[in-house]
Amino acid sequence: MNWYLAAVLAGLLLGWYLPWSVRLTYRGGGGQNLLDICVAAGGLPLLRRRWDLGATPSRSSGGGLRRVRRVAVPFLRQVLPCLRCHRLVWHTRVGLGDAAATGLGCGLGWAVMGGAVPWLRRRVRFAAGQPRLILVPSFGEPALDIFLDCIVSVRTGQLILAGGRALPGIFAGRGRA
C-alpha cells in the first residue's frame, strides 16, 4: 500500500513539473478542412487525433457560441501567458482569378498575418526563432489554402493555476442572459 501511494505521489509530482507540448496543424482549402492535434508529455506522444471539420459551421447556433466564448475567453486570458511557442509556420496560398484582385488579396493577407503575429507575441512567449510566414499568390487559378503548424508547451502546474485564476471570470457572467 505504501508503494502504491508513493507511486501515485511521484506520478503527480512528475506530472506537475513535466512539460506538455501540443502540436496543432490545420489544413484548409482545396476541398479539405483538417485539424491534427498531437499531445506529448516530456517528448513522448500521448494523443494523436485528426478531425475533418467539413464545411464551415453555420452561424445560426449563436447561443452555443456565446456560452463557449464566456468560458474560453477568461481561460485563454490566463493560459496564454503560460504557453511557450516553439514553432509557428503559417503558409497561405491566395488566388482570386484576376491578377489585380490576387495582388490586392495578397496585400490584405500580409496585413492580417503581419498584425496577428505581433498580437500573439505580446500574449505568448516564443522560444528561439521567428515565426515563418509564407504567402504565395496563385495568379492562374482561384484558391485559398491555409496551412498552420504550431507547437506550444505548458507545464501542468501553470495550467492548473491559470485555470483556477480564470474561474471567477467564467462564473461572473452567469446571471446575465
Residue in the block written with cell 484576376: 98
Per-residue pLDDT, averaged over 98-106, amounts to 92
Contact assessment for residue 133 and residue 148, using Cβ atoms and an 8 Å cutoff:
no
Helices (H), 22-155: 62-79, 99-123
Give the pLDDT of residue 115.
93
Centre a 10 Å sphere on the Cβ of residue 144 and count the other Cβ atoms it contains: 15
Judged against a pLDDT cut of 80, whether residue 84 lies above it is answered with yes
Q: Which of 153, 143, 161 is nearest to 19 (CA)?
A: 153
| pTM for the model | 0.66
Give the pLDDT of residue 68.
65
Give the pLDDT of residue 175.
46
Contact assessment for residue 89 and residue 132, using Cβ atoms and an 8 Å cutoff:
yes
Cross-strand partners of 93: 136, 145
